Amino acid sequence: MVEDPSVIMVPPLTAYTPQVPRLFSLTLRENLLLGQPADDDDLERAIYTATMEHDLAAMPDGLETMVGPRGVRLSGGQVQRSAAARMLAREPQLLVFDDLSSALDVDTEKMLWDRLFAGTGDATALVVSHRKPALQRADRVIVMLDGRIDAVGSAEELLETSQEFRRLWRGGNK
């Protein structure tokens, strides 16, 4: 339990990627670092973990590629993964993701979650998602219904005990 959120819920201890991340009309490197120091190994690790290495290799100027206003030169999935790499480059203790993989294809989404949970060390991840790959990885899922907690447990437990979770799970979510 966190007794004083103002102590932990601040950078660099905590990093947040919103549902609709924002990039700036800067280079990809500048968007990932936002003025923060990071050595090339940290940045390379963050790019790999965010499954951006193949995208980066295809960019005309690599990390020096201009992404355009709000990242318009990137796909929605590339913007999401760039935002993930930005937070991972800081090595926070708490990662907060809001629907991180909504714009990703199934294979990239699986690879992203695999890499995130293999490479975040002792970091804790708080993930807001309705996507099966994220839910299957969670130690604890909290099901919300009408703004209230409806059920808590692992995905496996909730499939047995929560009508709302079963409805969401079988409702065509990926």
Q: What is the pLDDT along the chain (174 residues), one digit of tens a residue?
A: 668 877 777 777 898 899 889 999 999 999 999 988 878 888 999 999 999 999 999 999 999 999 998 889 999 999 999 999 999 998 888 899 998 888 889 899 889 988 988 866 678 889 998 888 889 888 999 999 999 999 999 999 999 999 999 999 988 444
Euclidean distance between CA atoms 67 and 127, whole angstroms: 26
Asked whether residue 165 falls in the same domain as residue 92, the answer is no
Asked whether residue 96 falls in the same domain as residue 125, the answer is yes
Euclidean distance between CA atoms 82 and 26, whole angstroms: 13
Asked whether residue 102 falls in the same domain as residue 164, the answer is no
Asked whether residue 169 falls in the same domain as residue 113, the answer is no
Asked whether residue 20 falls in the same domain as residue 94, the answer is yes
Asked whether residue 105 falls in the same domain as residue 148, the answer is no
pLDDT at 59: 94
The number of folded domains in the chain is: 2
Q: Which two tokens stand for residue 151?
A: 């059920």
Q: Which residues form the domain of 125?
A: 5-129
pLDDT at 120: 66
- Orientation of helix 76-88 relative to helix 106-119, angle to 10°: 0
User: Is residue 63 situated within a structural domain?
Assistant: yes
Asked whether residue 159 falls in the same domain as residue 101, the answer is no
Euclidean distance between CA atoms 29 and 12, whole angstroms: 18
Euclidean distance between CA atoms 34 and 52, whole angstroms: 18
Asked whether residue 96 falls in the same domain as residue 29, the answer is yes
Asked whether residue 149 falls in the same domain as residue 95, the answer is no
99: left (phi over 0), alpha (psi -120 to 50) or beta: left
Q: Which two tokens stand for residue 97?
A: 């993701």
Asked whether residue 89 falls in the same domain as residue 158, the answer is no
pLDDT at 165: 95
pLDDT at 174: 47
User: Is residue 162 situated within a structural domain?
Assistant: yes
Rg (CA), the chain: 17
Asked whether residue 51 falls in the same domain as residue 105, the answer is yes
User: Is residue 25 situated within a structural domain?
Assistant: yes
User: Is residue 134 situated within a structural domain?
Assistant: no
Euclidean distance between CA atoms 9 and 96, whole angstroms: 10
Residue 139 phi, psi dihedral angles, 5° rounding: -70, -35
Q: Who's near 80: CB < 8 A, 6+ residues apart?
A: 17, 21, 100, 101, 102, 103, 104
